[in-house]
Chains A and B, each alone.
Chain A
Amino acid sequence: EMQLVESGGGLVQPGRSLRLSCVASGFTFDDYAMHWVRQAPGKGLEWVSSISWNGNTIAYADSVRGRFFISRDNAKNSLYLQMNSLRAEDTALYSCAKARQLIYDGLHVWGQGTMVTVSS
């Protein structure tokens, strides 16, 4: 069974940093692109970032570009999101998701998410 498990969320003050992790199992991690998607409390889904299977192609939403950095370690079946200069509006449940086949594709496997709360 394909599975994604996120960790690293928590309460953080504005301006500080946080690093999220996502560990994959049940599929060949280094064959697939991965994405981060967030959902603020009571709000809709917001795509955050994506990374190709080899890390060579990376993209960000305008709202996080220059502050967030996506990376992966295929040897550890792990995806990361380094979040710097956090703002109150970054408060959300952050989920990692696996693309079906292409880097930009339907997201068919999702983790349960890790909650990030930015507040003083």
Chain B
Amino acid sequence: DFQMTQSPSSLSASVGDRVTITCRASQGIFNYLAWYQQKPGNIPKLLIYAASTLQSGVPSRFSGSGSGTDFTLTISSLQPEDAATYYCQRYVSAPATFGGGTKVEIK
């Protein structure tokens, strides 16, 4: 089985807060993990690949870490435009399973 478990499923934080989302893989995936941001009504946007490499154009307040089975996405200082649902995805091999998503709301 190739499950990706995200937590929390939702969170509410204030502008300027540090926000951390976790993603756990059911089997080790080295660093073959991506993070996506999806705003309502929009297509997903790749934020991070290889667990910690920022995709071109993504603000530096986003960062990723982890390897093996445990990963984190951190937003160092939450901004209003960061309200979205965030997904992790394993891609070490098929199936390239997504996590269930974490909805981030702004207080």
| Chain A contacts to B: CB under 8 angstroms | 35, 37, 44-47, 50, 59-62, 95, 100, 104-108, 110-113
Contact = CB atoms under 8 A, between A and B. Distances in A.
Interface in B19-44: 32, 34, 36, 38, 43-44
B98 interface: yes
Instruction: State the main secondary structure of chain A at its contact with B.
Output: strand
A104 B100 contact: no
Contacts of A100: 46, 49
A105 B87 contact: no
B95 interface: yes
Given A45-B101, A106-B91, A50 B96 contact: yes
B34 A107 contact: yes
B89 interface: yes
B91 A104 contact: yes
B96 A45 contact: no
Contacts of B45: 110
Most chain B CB neighbours (cut-off 10 Å) among A60, A95, A110: A110
Given A44-B87, A113-B43, A105 B49 contact: yes
A47 B43 contact: no
A107 B98 CA distance: 12
B13 interface: no
A100 B55 CA distance: 10
Given A104-B32, A106-B49, A47 B96 contact: yes
Nearest to A105: B91
A61 B90 CA distance: 13
A44 B94 contact: no
Contacts of A105: 34, 49, 91
Interface in B57-107: 85, 87, 89, 91-101
Contacts of B34: 105-107
24 contacts: A35-B96, A37-B98, A44-B85, A45-B44, A45-B87, A47-B89, A47-B96, A59-B95, A62-B95, A95-B43, A104-B32, A104-B91, A104-B92, A104-B96, A105-B49, A105-B91, A106-B50, A106-B89, A106-B91, A108-B46, A108-B55, A110-B44, A110-B45, A111-B43
